[in-house]
Copies of this chain bind each other. A is one copy, B any other.
Amino acid sequence: LVSINSKEIAKIAGVSRSTVSRVINNYKNVPEETKNKVLSVVEKYNYVPHEQARMLAGGKNKIIGLFMVDRKLYTVGKNVSMSNYFSLFLNRVIDEANKYGYYVLAYSITSPKDYKAIKQIFFNHTISGGIFIGQQYDDENLNEIIQGGYKVVMVDKEIEFESELVSKSFIINTDNTSGAYSAIKYLIELGHRKIAHISGHRNQLSTTQRIEGYKKALEEAGITYNRNLVLNGNFIQDGGYSATKKLLQKETPTAIFYANDSMAIGGLIALKELSIHVPQEMSVIGFDDIEIASYLDPALTTVKTGFAEMASIAVSNLITAIKEDSSFSAHYIVPAELIIRDSCAHL
């Protein structure tokens, strides 16, 4: 596992290491002849410059981190399976990063302790920037990363304009409010007036904004907001299942809007157990448009988040900021789109 170095290449090619370096790095003022001479030796000996050495000598690190909060999908009464909620996002991040010649270090956050390790890999120069998705709260270590001048993109993060951190980072959100609004408006157009909502985690931006959109649509239609029709969920299947059961013990909505598809799946299972037919007796809408949504029975009407687009924006802006070492502060909102399938019916 010992590879040839630039010193050897220089000797064989009959030039100095400086010249080898200049050829490798495509400097302008190297005559064709010298260039070809060096390149042929490089080729012959399969020489690849040592990345760590290059970085020490002033080069840029070409790795960005993708930090995904692990959202477990507990399959009710069956096995526990890992979430693939972010797989679309991950794939896009990889593709986009590769375009720029960058690589992606994928990390799954399973406990608050992980932030310490993450801080380490920023500070020890393993990565030159990172994207965080699925955060539920502010973490002191993450703050230190941003304060330290490292480039960070956050997806689904509240904008607090007074905060100094916000002015130093890049934030991308789905348009949760208008997404929820369009879902509820659609239900109202179908004749529903008693519409329940199972929400996400309390301390997450997407949760509050989806509730906001829900309220806004009701208000516009002159429907009084009924607190008893809104229950707390947790973005996983189990939560959707139990919240649905709890809801229907006391209330009789004709439609339920779940804050994400995983909970809607749990809800569909609960409804089946209660022999309530979807969509004839209950209309159901989710949020996210995860891959499973279109395979459900009935196929789930849902709100599609612009995950793929968010990934592209995140990566291109992050890498540009890293390359130019430019200041880095912006806020994008990506549209959400209602996807109508078969889980809602006219009242």
> Which A residues are within 8 Å of any B CB, using their own CB?
1, 3, 46, 48-53, 55-56, 61-63, 66, 70, 73, 75, 78, 81-84, 86-88, 90-92, 94-95, 98, 103-108, 110, 117, 120-121, 123-126, 144, 148-150, 265, 291-292, 294-297, 325
CB <8 Å contact, A106 and B106 = yes
In the assembled complex, how far is the CB of residue A308 from the closest CB belonging to chain B, in whole angstroms? 8
Given the known interface contacts A50-B124, A125-B51, A149-B1, the answer about A104 and B103 at a Cβ–Cβ threshold of 8 Å is no
Q: How far is the CA of A120 from the CA of B1 in the complex (A)?
A: 14
A3 to chain B, nearest CB (A): 6
A49 to B125, CA, bound (A): 9
Tell which of B52, B62, B94, B108 touches A107, judged by Cβ atoms closer than 8 Å. B94
A84 touching B126, Cβ below 8 Å: no
Interface of A is mostly: mixed
A291 contacts which chain B residues (CB < 8 A)? 73, 81, 84, 292
Identify 20 new A-B residue pairs, CB closer than 8 A, beyond the known A50-B56, A75-B294, A103-B105: A1-B148, A1-B149, A1-B150, A3-B123, A48-B120, A50-B124, A51-B121, A52-B56, A52-B61, A70-B91, A73-B291, A84-B87, A86-B87, A95-B108, A95-B110, A98-B107, A104-B105, A104-B107, A295-B295, A295-B296
Check B265–A124 contact: CB distance below 8 A: no
Given A81-B291, A292-B292: A51 and B297 interface contact (C-beta under 8 Å)? no
Question: Cβ of A83: which chain B residues have Cβ within 8 Å of it?
Answer: 91
The CB with the most chain B CB atoms within 10 A, among A78, A87, A98, A104, is that of A87
The CA of A110 and the CA of B160, in the complex, are separated in Å by: 40
Q: In the bound complex, what is the Cα–Cα distance between A92 and B50 (angstroms)?
A: 30
Task: Report the separation of the CA atoms of residues A81 and B288 in the bound assembly, to the nearest whole angstrom.
Answer: 14
Determine whether the beta carbon of B106 is less than 8 Å from that of A90.
Answer: yes
Please determine whether A48 and B108 come into contact, CB atoms closer than 8 angstroms. no
The answer to whether A125 and B50 have CB atoms under 8 Å apart is yes
- Can you list 25 A-B contacts with CB-CB less than 8 angstroms, sorted by A residue number? A1-B148, A3-B148, A46-B123, A49-B124, A50-B124, A52-B55, A53-B56, A63-B105, A73-B291, A75-B294, A81-B291, A82-B92, A84-B84, A84-B91, A84-B291, A86-B87, A95-B108, A95-B110, A98-B117, A103-B105, A104-B105, A105-B106, A265-B295, A292-B292, A292-B295
Cα of A144 to Cα of B52 in the assembled complex, Å: 21
Q: Which residue of B lies closest to A103 (CB)?
A: B105
Q: Is the CB of B91 within 8 A of A82?
A: yes
